[in-house]
Amino acid sequence: MAKHKGRGWHSRLLAAGLGVTALAAATSVWTAQAGPTGGQPEARPQERTVTKVAADIAHASDRGPRGVNITIDDGPDPVWTPQVLQLLKDSGVKATFCMVGTQAKAYPDLVKKVVADGHRLCDHTVSHDTAMDQKSEAYQSQQILDAERMIIEASGGVRPQYYRAPGGAFTPYSRQLAASRGMRPLGWNVDTKDFEHPGVDTMVDTVKSEISNGPTILFHDAGGERSETLEALRQVLPWLKEQGYSFGFPVR
């Protein structure tokens, strides 16, 4: 959610190549956050630190060519996220959690737990619309900026550092908007397709055969029953360590 005041924020959006329609949508959201007296919204310290990042889709790891990025999508979920967090903690692995705004708003304690455990946050839109690349810029703005606000509020002030479009439905506009808010667009190289329940062996084999394609691996902690995901992670994480990989975060 936009929190900058005055012309400076408007100019930055326009300079990033964002349209007037999107600017109006973002401004509307900003105005909705007005202070208790109805005046200007109160500045929050974490919001003053927004720095525009690159708008191209990131895949690389900050740990270099032998780095791996574990990314977990669609949560948080009250059943599966705590189990994923415990498994990651036991394994000594940090991950990036791509959160749906409505889920973050519903389970703020889980968002805070993700942060407390040293993981990073990623904006995965409000409603996970995989066809949002076919929608208007105003709609894309609402999906990205409202989710950003929900995640920041749920986390107690921690900003998402990445933006992942549902189903990879990025547009040049959505990438530029996310980047202007300090959220690097985030892709993936290895899709375990755990949402299709292909079986643990298939998921593990997918990681082993496709990790040479790039370091960012996609799992899910919500959107259905995730026992297969947990078991696949339980097997994949030690295997990656045995192969000499180290776990990091996507580049920004």
Residues acting as catalytic residues: 73, 220
Nearest to 68, CA basis, from 219, 178, 170, 229: 219
| CA count, 13 A, side-chain hemisphere, 97 | 34
Give the distance from CA 221 to its chain's centroid: 13
| CA count, 13 A, side-chain hemisphere, 132 | 27
The Cα 221–Cα 211 span in angstroms is 20
The Cα 182–Cα 50 span in angstroms is 6
Place of tokens 């691996």: 217
- How crowded is residue 100: how many other Cβ atoms within 10 Å of its Cβ? 25
The Cα 41–Cα 47 span in angstroms is 12
E runs forming strands in 82-142: 96-99, 120-123
The Cα 152–Cα 156 span in angstroms is 6
The answer to whether the CB of 247 falls within 8 A of the CB of 68 is yes
- How crowded is residue 80: how many other Cβ atoms within 10 Å of its Cβ? 22
Question: Can you tell me whether residue 190 is helix, strand or coil?
Answer: strand
